[in-house]
Amino acid sequence: MPNSLPATERLKSLKLIQKLFNRNNPSVSAYPLRAVIYRESSSEEPQYPQILITVSKRNFKKAVDRNHIKRQIREAYRMSKIQFPGNVILAFIYLSKDLPQKGQIKHLMPILLNKIKSV
| CATH at 42 | 3.30.230.10
Say if residue 8's pLDDT is above 90: no
pLDDT level of residue 45 (50, 70, 90 thresholds):
low
Q: What is the mean pLDDT of residues 88-111?
A: 95
pLDDT of amino acid 61: 97
Q: Is the peptide bond before 2 cis (omega within 30 degrees of 0)?
A: no
Q: 76 lies in which domain range?
A: 7-118
* pTM for the predicted model, two decimal places: 0.90
In a domain, 37, yes or no: yes
Backbone angles phi, psi at 109, to 5 degrees: -60, -45
Q: What is the mean pLDDT of residues 48-58?
A: 93
pLDDT at 109 over 60: yes
Domain count, the chain: 1
pLDDT confidence of residue 113 = 93
Structural domain contains residue 2? no
76-102: b (≥16 Cβ within 10 Å) or e: bbeebbeebeebbbbbbbbeeeeebee
Mean pLDDT of 20-43: 88
When pLDDT is averaged across residues 100-112 and rounded to a whole number, the result is: 94
* 1 occurs within a structural domain: no
DSSP string, 16-57: HHHHHHHS---EEEETTEEEEEEE---TTS-SS-EEEEEE-T
pLDDT at 44: 61
State the chain's maximal CA–CA distance in angstroms: 41
Q: What's the pLDDT score for residue 1?
A: 45
